[in-house]
Structures are given as C-alpha cells and as structure tokens.
Amino acid sequence: MRKWLTTSIAVYFLYGLVVYWYLFIFSGSGVPAPYEGTAADPATFMTGREQLLSQEYSTLKNFLYFVTVPFEWFLLFVFLLTGLSRKMQEWSQATSKRSFFQSAIFFFWLSLFITLLSLPVEWIGYQISKTYHITTQSFHAWIKDQLIDFWVNYFLMALIVFVVLSLIRKFEKRWWLYAWLLSIPFSMFLMFVQPVVIDPLYNDFYPLKNKELETKILEIADRADIPAEHVYEVNMSEKTNALNAYVTGIGSNSRIVLWDTTLNKLEDEEILFIMAHEMGHYVMKHIYVGIAGYLLLSLFGLLFIHLLMEKLIQRFGPLLKINSMKELTMFPLFLLLLGVLTFASSPITNTVSRYQEKSADMYAIEMTNDHEAAIHSFQELAKTGLSQVNPPLLVKIFRYSHPTMLERIHYLEEYGEKQFDEE
C-alpha cells in the first residue's frame, strides 16, 4: 500500500510540474503575426494592463483546472487503497439492512470525504477569481452555493449508485446496457426539470425587464420560426462580472437566458447578435444532437468501464480491498474510471461543440447582418472575462467548447470583408 501510495503521489507531482512548464514556460502569449493589428488582436481593444491580467488570470485558471481534475481521481484511489471504502461499506451495512439506505449512507461519506478534501482547491479558484475581479460573490454566498452543489449532487448520485448496484447484482454481465437504457429517460427528465427546479436554487430568473429589447428579440425569433414567448434574464451581477447567455432545457421548458451583466455592458445590437446565436442552436437542433452524442458516448463508456472494472478487480482486487463488482466498495473505482473516461473524451465532445458554436455564430450574423456588433460583443466578452484570445493548444483541446476568440473574431471579420466586396 505504501509503495502504491508513494508512487501515485510522485506521479501526480511530476504531472503538476509538466503542466506548470507547459502553461507558464513553454506556451507563448499573444497572437500570431498575421493577426496583429486586426480586430482579433487584444492590443486593439484591451489596455496593456488588461492584456497582462488576462494572461495571468487565464494561465492560473488553466493550471488549476489541469491539476484539479486528477486530484479527485487521486482521492478516490486513496479511499480504496487505505481501506476506507471497505470500512464505510461495513459501517453502512451494519447501520441498515436495506440496500437503498446502505447505498445512501456509503455515498454520503464518500461525497463528504471528497468534498472536504477538495474544498481548499475550490477555495483557491474562488480567491483567484476574486483577486482578478471576475467573481463578485461574497464568501458566505459562495459557501451557500457549495452546499447546494453538495446536496444536489449527493441526492442525484445516491440514486444512481443504488440503481447501478442493483443492476450489477441482478445482471452482472449486462448491467451496463440496462444502466444505459435507464439513463435515456433519466437524462431527458433532468434536462426538462433543470430550468424550473435546479437552476432557481442558485439564482433568480425572471422575464426580461427591457420590453423594448424583448420585442426586438422576439421579432428575430419569429423570423426564425421559433415559438418563443419570453426571454429570461438571471441575476448574475451579485456573483460575477463576466458576460454570458445560453439555452437550457428541452420541450416546453426550454429557455433562452441572458445574464444581467450582459444586459448592463452590451448595446442592444450586440445583445441581438448573441440572442440570434442562441436561436441558431435551437433552429439547428444542437441540443438534441448533443443528447444523441452524449448517449452514444455513454453507451461505449459504460461498456468500457464494465470491462476495465472486471480486469482491475481480478488483478488488483486485494490491493484495492474489492472482492467483486457487486460490492458497494467498488464505487470509488467506478467513479474514478468514469472521471478518467470523461476527461479523455473531452477533445471529441469539445470539437463537436466548437463546430456547433461556429454554425450558430454564422447563423446569427446572417440573421442580424451586423458584423461590427458581433465582433465588438466578442471583444467585450474577452475583455470582461479576462479570457485568452489565443490559448495554448492543449487548453483549447481539453477546455474550449467554443472556438477561441481569435477564431471567432477572425471569421466574422472575413464575413464583413466578403460582404463589403459584394457591395
């Protein structure tokens, strides 16, 4: 146990050094020479200090992300290696004879263990955002959101733990297929209730107060044959200075949502472009394409986890204190493998998402026909959020579900030049 624990700590430390070298030393800043002086060059819309802060903030956040992701895997590994998982299983079985309560008790202690040990890292991220004036949220409000996160995730995951364990005990060889089939209605249900049940736990949502702007937005929706009756705004200024807008939910519960920070800092023409972008997702059915892609990946992911767990328990069961897949004590291993596969698949999902985002951008520019407002909206998004216009390649691959600001502004500039030439 000491050997494996020492090795894992050493590997994690070396990984952190490699990430530090890549982000702070190897990766350059700025934009390629052909883009200097263009609208995509931060020097044209940011002050020297803003450019410096953007580079510092983005690099720190990227470093924290890459070292945090495997940190949870490391904690799950320690939970198994030290026998804590085995002891928690024995304690939960001694507390109740019902399988559901055993699962709930076991996962509560596992969640508490991970949350408490991860809290300092989360706090560092909060402090970084606070220092660079991205986060405006008070510490009290931040802790409140952490508690909401804990309980929402706990209740959802406790249910999943119980269902998956029940399927494994009943269908040891085919549990992954039945779990996937059940995940389809479960995922659809979550997407349906999220806008009206989960999201309001964190923020206040209400119809757009600016009725004149809402009328303009609904006119674009009508041209796009979108049956929209309301646009929602959410009170985010008490938490952040960043700008955002998004589409959430499915069916009758789908919503187009604007952050109030976006309303406060952008002109109407720029907001109309952003809204047209979100409508583009609806028109091109990106939500449903995303659901289909998620379900396809999850099918192969669950099968792969099943095969890996069989091999790992067979070979390393005594070391990890796992006798079979039918035990509660195997769940840290299940979550560890799920986390690794999710991270490994992120380049694929991000690539698809970036393609969809570009399609929505082009749809929006065709609907609004105002490339200057579009470019300025992206410049303001980068400036306000201290975002890197041209991030390092690995950051883009693993973190960016949207095209980089360099790419977005560049193809909008090209669109404007093409339009000017045609005129």
CA 130 centroid distance within chain: 20
Q: Is residue 417 pLDDT above 90, yes or no?
A: no
Domain extents in the chain? 2-203+285-422
Is 357 assigned a ligand-binding role in the annotation? yes
Mean residue pLDDT across the chain? 89
Q: 0.85 exceeded by the pTM?
A: yes
Sheet holding 232-234, edge to edge: 205-207, 232-234, 255-259, 245-248
Q: C-alpha angle 172/174/179, rounded to 5°? A: 100
As a whole number of angstroms, the distance between CA 186 and CA 295 comes to 11
* φ, ψ (nearest 5 deg) of residue 135: -85, 135
Q: Mind listing the pLDDT tens digit for each residue in 110-123?
A: 999 999 999 999 99
Residues designated catalytic: 278, 361
Range from 51-65, 168-182, 199-213 carrying the lowest mean pLDDT: 199-213
Q: Mind listing the pLDDT tens digit for each residue in 215-274?
A: 888 888 888 777 666 788 888 888 998 888 877 777 666 777 888 999 989 999 999 999
Of 320, 279, 338, which is closest to residue 160 (Cα–Cα)? 338
Is 414 assigned a ligand-binding role in the annotation? no
> What pLDDT shows up at residue 252?
65
As a whole number of angstroms, the distance between CA 39 and CA 20 comes to 30
Pair of tokens at residue 264: 């406060």
The alpha carbon dihedral of 392, 393, 397, 403 has a sign of positive
Is 277 assigned a ligand-binding role in the annotation? yes
Q: Mind listing the pLDDT tens digit for each residue in 331-363?
A: 999 999 999 999 999 999 999 999 999 999 999
Range from 29-33, 170-174, 401-405, 414-418 carrying the lowest mean pLDDT: 414-418
Range from 222-226, 302-306, 358-362, 367-371 carrying the lowest mean pLDDT: 222-226
> What pLDDT shows up at residue 31?
84
The alpha carbon dihedral of 174, 176, 177, 183 has a sign of positive
Looking at the chain, the whole-number percentage of residues with pLDDT higher than 70 is 96
- Return the SS3 of 27: coil
Q: Please classify residue 328 by burial: count the beta carbons closer than 10 Å to its beta carbon, then call 0-12 exposed, 13-18 middle and 19+ buried.
A: buried
> What pLDDT shows up at residue 419?
62
> What pLDDT shows up at residue 423?
53
> What pLDDT shows up at residue 61?
95
Q: Mind listing the pLDDT tens digit for each residue in 134-174?
A: 999 999 999 999 999 999 999 998 998 899 999 999 998 99
